[in-house]
A = this chain, B = another copy of it.
């Protein structure tokens, strides 16, 4: 195995033992509320489907992800894991994970850019047979810097919209050299993770960072994809007046037909109280918008990267900046207006000081799919060419059925007559 100088978390932390205990306590709570992974883990422990495999992971290392990491490890894999965002790691969870005999964890909160990439290289140095990404850092680094490893990689899985988007671009360029499941694109992932997960946790994070209310606020949601829909719907459910900005006419029309105000950001900037970007694109809120905003507005981002709010331009405009609250940086304009940026414009439901990331149950569904995708690529490697693959419907349904059973929700089955009917076309009015 290639050597890497970068040490696992256990070699970096002081007061390691108490961190491990605290991390374990967090993981226990998550485990209690992740019935899907619990069911999958039982199966994996019995079947050992990952015997002899090496799984490399770059994920937000906190309690919920840790349950996925353990689930894979207990299926027999050797797992190496690091963070996918310098601010989202919980060091205690990282430390707790690192105690598992099959797991090496390199994630540490607050590392600088150099350390961040060293940790990714340390994970890659384990010479993975499978990669699991949240933002395609591993896929990118392997293709760019370690192409010699690609032959040994059976496949991968990618968690986010943004990562899948970039993978598809790479695939179209013919530059993706092994199969990767687009976990993000499953109905399960989109509906539950993006709509309920991003929606609920972004709003709760902002509320608990600012102590402000949603009722009667003009909340500007940039983007009406699944994340934007989630944020809009949940904000509406807290009695906010939601304004949507979009660039795709059908989504703009969809938002309009649901009763939201739709307008260009240049107009929304003048009336918004809170701005939430969810587009996955860059430069959504820029200089001209900052100049039009009211005093005291809140700016936050629920997209993967911190490129949606142009903080550089905002800094240039500001005559002063200061920490108004934990997790809130105030930018004071020369006319006295204060624009408050939450969590440095990073993914707000992960990066704000109080943030806990997606709700446990939502990640349970998302990670359940990840787990069965890893099983699938290893069981049926020949069925998947290099490139981006949709998650097979049967896996998605398997997870839904596990979840419904865990919630005690019963539902109907097609009768034979109904099944025949669905397949027939030769009858009249």
Residues on A lying within 8 angstroms of B by beta carbon are: 25-26, 28-30, 32-33, 63-64, 84-86, 116-117, 135-137, 140, 165-167, 169-170, 173, 187-188, 191-192, 196-197, 200-201, 203-205, 207-208, 210-216, 234, 236-242, 245-250, 252-254, 256-265, 267, 281-283, 296, 305, 307, 324-325, 328, 338, 354, 356-357, 359-362, 396-397, 400-401, 403-404, 407, 409-415, 417-418, 421-426, 428-429
Chain B residues with Cβ under 8 A from A28's Cβ? 324
Please determine whether A422 and B281 come into contact, CB atoms closer than 8 angstroms: yes
Chain B residues with Cβ under 8 A from A140's Cβ? 425-426, 428
Nearest B residue (CB) for A137: B429
**Contact of A213 with B197 at beta-carbon distance under 8 Å, contacts A250-B187, A411-B263, A425-B169 already known:** yes
Please determine whether B412 and A29 come into contact, CB atoms closer than 8 angstroms: no
Please determine whether B188 and A200 come into contact, CB atoms closer than 8 angstroms: no
Chain B residues with Cβ under 8 A from A245's Cβ? 411-412
- Quote the shortest CB–CB distance from A85 to chain B (angstroms): 6
- Quote the shortest CB–CB distance from A287 to chain B (angstroms): 13
Please determine whether B282 and A212 come into contact, CB atoms closer than 8 angstroms: no
- Quote the shortest CB–CB distance from A230 to chain B (angstroms): 10
Please determine whether B213 and A359 come into contact, CB atoms closer than 8 angstroms: yes
A-B contact pairs, 26 of them (CB 8 A): A25-B325, A29-B210, A29-B328, A33-B296, A64-B211, A85-B429, A86-B429, A169-B424, A169-B425, A170-B425, A191-B257, A196-B239, A203-B204, A204-B207, A213-B361, A215-B359, A216-B256, A216-B257, A216-B258, A234-B239, A241-B260, A245-B412, A246-B411, A249-B411, A250-B400, A256-B404
Please determine whether B29 and A264 come into contact, CB atoms closer than 8 angstroms: no
Please determine whether A403 and B215 come into contact, CB atoms closer than 8 angstroms: no
Please determine whether A208 and B211 come into contact, CB atoms closer than 8 angstroms: no
Nearest B residue (CB) for A265: B412
- Quote the shortest CB–CB distance from A386 to chain B (angstroms): 15
Please determine whether B359 and A211 come into contact, CB atoms closer than 8 angstroms: yes
Nearest B residue (CB) for A33: B212
Nearest B residue (CB) for A398: B249
Please determine whether B166 and A192 come into contact, CB atoms closer than 8 angstroms: no
Chain B residues with Cβ under 8 A from A86's Cβ? 429
**Contact of A360 with B213 at beta-carbon distance under 8 Å, contacts A281-B421, A418-B283 already known:** yes
Please determine whether B216 and A207 come into contact, CB atoms closer than 8 angstroms: no
Please determine whether A407 and B208 come into contact, CB atoms closer than 8 angstroms: no
Known pairs A200-B207, A211-B359. 5 more at Cβ < 8 A?
A: A30-B211, A32-B338, A86-B429, A200-B215, A208-B208
- Quote the shortest CB–CB distance from A167 to chain B (angstroms): 7
Please determine whether A207 and B359 come into contact, CB atoms closer than 8 angstroms: yes
Please determine whether B359 and A252 come into contact, CB atoms closer than 8 angstroms: no
Chain B residues with Cβ under 8 A from A418's Cβ? 247, 281-283
Please determine whether B256 and A407 come into contact, CB atoms closer than 8 angstroms: yes
Q: How far is the CA of A167 from the CA of B356 in the complex (A)?
A: 41
Residue from B241, B242, B264, B417 within 8 A of A411 (CB atoms): B264
Please determine whether A213 and B187 come into contact, CB atoms closer than 8 angstroms: no
Nearest B residue (CB) for A328: B29
Chain B residues with Cβ under 8 A from A254's Cβ? 187, 191
Q: How far is the CA of A167 from the CA of B426 in the complex (A)?
A: 10
- Of A135, A188, A197, A213, most buried by chain B (CB within 10 Å of CB) is A213
Q: How far is the CA of A224 from the CA of B84 in the complex (A)?
A: 36
Nearest B residue (CB) for A85: B429
- Of A252, A253, A360, most buried by chain B (CB within 10 Å of CB) is A253
Chain B residues with Cβ under 8 A from A241's Cβ? 259-261
Please determine whether B238 and A188 come into contact, CB atoms closer than 8 angstroms: no
- Quote the shortest CB–CB distance from A19 to chain B (angstroms): 15
**Contact of A165 with B264 at beta-carbon distance under 8 Å, contacts A213-B359, A247-B414 already known:** no
